[in-house]
Amino acid sequence: MEFSSGFLLSLSLCLDIGVANIAMITLAMQRGYSRGFALGLGTCVGDLVYAILALAGMTVLLQYEAVRWVLWIGGSALLLYFAAKMIRSAIYHDAALAPADEVQGSSSRREFFRGIFLAMSSPSAILWFAAVGGTLIARSGGGTLLSSALFLSGFLSAGLLWCAGICLAATHGGKLLGDKLLRYSYWASAAIFCYFAVYVIVSGYNEFVGKGAAAAFPGL
């Protein structure tokens, strides 16, 4: 369960098309697979750092019920917002891929560190790990060393698979396929966000509301 939760969480982040993904796609199209994958690998490392920080920080904070309430409500609202955003982007998407920055003479190592910077400087990534990431960790019952390791393994695996797949598609698909690929990614992202929204809302309801109702009416 922890591995699959980490895998899907990372996949939903990957499918949230943003600056890092656009840069990875265009770089793979124009400079080849290895350059695009190097940048994508850097974004995986940046996201993994945030995931570790979320796991470490939430272990203490989630001991307080008030914090779990805030994360449940805020995380649910944020997930619904992201799902609506992805649906709207898929329906009204009409932007072609922007040309990549000039990368003459750049190395794979440079692109790797550029990917880390892009991932860790994203305000949406910070907000995601502060609210949604912590909520999902709470819902999955993480806390032991083994569960954390499984969660992070799934998280990293999804990121690496996404980078490998998207760079391969961008390299061989060309710009026409790349624009269509963005639309498909929006729809897939919306589906994953909806799944997590339902999961968080239902599990939180069972924990806070359902448990309270059972305590108030023990005979029911």
How does pLDDT run across 62-71, given as a tens digit for each residue?
667 787 788 7
Domain that holds residue 108: 2-209
**Would you say residue 220 lies in a domain?**
no
Question: What pLDDT score does 45 carry?
Answer: 92
Question: What pLDDT score does 112 carry?
Answer: 92
76 Cβ contact partners less than 8 Å away, ≥ 6 residues apart: 135, 197, 200, 201, 204
Give me the half-sphere count of Cα atoms (radius 13 Å) on the Cβ side of residue 141. 3
**Would you say residue 219 lies in a domain?**
no
**Would you say residue 216 lies in a domain?**
no
Question: What pLDDT score does 160 carry?
Answer: 93
How many domains would you assign to the chain? 1
Question: What pLDDT score does 164 carry?
Answer: 92
pTM attached to this predicted model: 0.65
Flag residues of the chain having pLDDT under 50: 95-105, 141, 217, 220
Question: What pLDDT score does 170 carry?
Answer: 80
Question: What pLDDT score does 42 carry?
Answer: 92
Q: Are 158 and 44 in contact (CB under 8 A)?
A: no
**Would you say residue 217 lies in a domain?**
no
**Would you say residue 185 lies in a domain?**
yes
